[in-house]
């Protein structure tokens, strides 16, 4: 069973590489069951989008 | 618009006013005050020299920032291997310990530290206070962590390129990026969300 700590590593790694199929499935199951990690996932997405805007990387 | 008005938009006072913003941006990306100063000087000089190319399509600020961005990108690329990001600073060690402390012995979130619901992301992106806090959180990342994060998120290099430029392993790259994101997340949770600066 995936721990939350493991999930955070995978969520972050997913922003930098393609997760393997097994990783993706296990993570999806964990996120379905864990609101904390679901929020963590959304937070990391927001941080990426916000940085993109801050650094002027967004397309006009 | 007459020639005189166009030229006036570019005089020294306009650039002098921008200088603070330019310096803040360069420092955030480079984490080196001397380099930041140099790069801003070069950008301002290039802007003055290239006035004719400024067709007035965007604001002066946007145009000068574009020049600055390109110079920063060059510096980051050139600098790549000259910085050693593998040695853990005390701050980085402290960040790692802080992250560990969010979890119980079974590695699930401690109830008090479970991530909060930050609400609608679109709202946050439109919230200028969110951006202010984000910038402050970025500037508080330890220098080496920030540099790796900037190569990935500002330069938008893919991870293989970041590792290659810095001569570090892929796994180390992931560790550092994870550290950066955790640091930003906690900083935002504490200083933006918990501080009540949100709808």
What is residue B36's predicted lDDT score, i.e. its pLDDT?
A: 96
Q: A40 vs B65: CB contact, 8 Å cut-off?
A: no
Contact flag B181-A53 (C-beta cutoff 8 Å): no
pLDDT, tens digit only, all 199 positions of chain B? 455 545 555 666 777 789 999 999 999 999 999 999 999 999 999 988 888 777 776 788 888 999 999 999 999 888 877 778 888 899 999 999 999 999 999 999 999 999 999 999 999 999 999 999 999 999 999 999 999 999 999 988 999 999 988 889 999 999 999 999 999 999 999 999 987 755 5
* CB-based contact, B176 to chain A, within 8 Å: no
Whole-angstrom distance, CA of residue B6 vs CA of residue B11: 10
Report chain B residues whose CB lies below 8 A from the CB of A45: 121
Q: Tell whether the model's pLDDT for residue A27 goes beyond 50.
A: yes
- Kindly determine whether residue B121 and residue A46, on different chains, have CB atoms separated by under 8 Å: yes
B195 contacts B127 by C-beta, under 8 angstroms: no
pLDDT at A60 over 50: no
Residues 6+ apart with CB under 8 A from B190: none
pLDDT value of position A8: 98
Q: Give B103's contacts in chain A (Cβ within 8 Å).
A: 3-5
- Chosen for mutation from B181, B182, B194 (greatest number of chain A CBs closer than 10 Å) is B181
pLDDT score of B8: 52
Q: Which residue has the higher pLDDT, B164 or A38?
A: A38
B177 in A contact zone (CB under 8 Å): yes
Nearest to B107 among A3, A36, A46 (CB): A3
Residue B81 pLDDT: 73
Q: Fill in the DSSP letter of residue B112.
A: G
A39 near B115, Cβ under 8 Å?
Answer: yes
CA A54 to chain B, closest CA, distance in angstroms equals: 7
Q: How many residues does chain A have?
A: 60
Q: Position of tokens 């000068």? A: B64
Query: Hey, are the CB atoms on B177 and A50 less than 8 Å from each other?
Result: no
Kindly report the average pLDDT of chain A as a whole number.
Answer: 94
Contact partners, residue B48, CB within 8 Å, separation at least 6: B10, B15
Q: Tens of pLDDT along A39-57? A: 999 999 999 999 999 988 8
Residue A33, classed as helix, strand or coil, is helix
Give the distance from residue A46's alpha carbon to the nearest chain B alpha carbon, in angstroms. 6
């Amino acid at each position: 069973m995936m721990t939350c700590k493991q999930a955070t590593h995978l969520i972050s790694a997913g922003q930098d590489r393609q997760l393997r199929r097994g990783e993706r499935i296990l993570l999806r199951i964990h996120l379905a069951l864990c609101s904390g990690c679901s929020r963590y996932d959304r937070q990391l997405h927001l941080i990426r989008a916000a940085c993109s805007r801050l650094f002027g990387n967004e397309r006009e | 618009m007459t020639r005189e008005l166009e030229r006036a938009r570019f005089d020294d006072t306009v650039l002098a006013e921008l200088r603070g913003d330019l310096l803040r941006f360069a420092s955030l990306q480079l984490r080196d005050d001397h380099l930041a100063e140099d790069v801003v000087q070069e950008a301002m000089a290039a802007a003055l020299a290239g006035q004719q190319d400024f067709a007035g399509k965007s604001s002066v600020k946007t145009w000068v920032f574009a020049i600055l961005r390109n110079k920063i990108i060059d510096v980051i690329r050139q600098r790549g291997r000259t910085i050693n990001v593998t040695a853990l600073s005390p701050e980085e060690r402290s960040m790692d310990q802080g992250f560990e402390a969010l979890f119980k012995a079974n590695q699930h979130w401690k109830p008090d530290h479970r991530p909060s619901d930050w609400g609608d992301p679109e709202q946050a992106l439109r919230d200028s206070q969110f951006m202010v806090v984000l910038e402050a959180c970025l500037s508080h990342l330890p220098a080496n962590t920030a540099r790796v994060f900037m190569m990935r998120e500002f330069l938008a290099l893919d991870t293989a390129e970041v590792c290659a430029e810095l001569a570090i392993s892929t796994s180390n790259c992931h560790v550092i990026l994870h550290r950066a994101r955790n640091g930003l997340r906690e900083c935002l949770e504490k200083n933006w969300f918990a501080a009540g600066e949100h709808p």
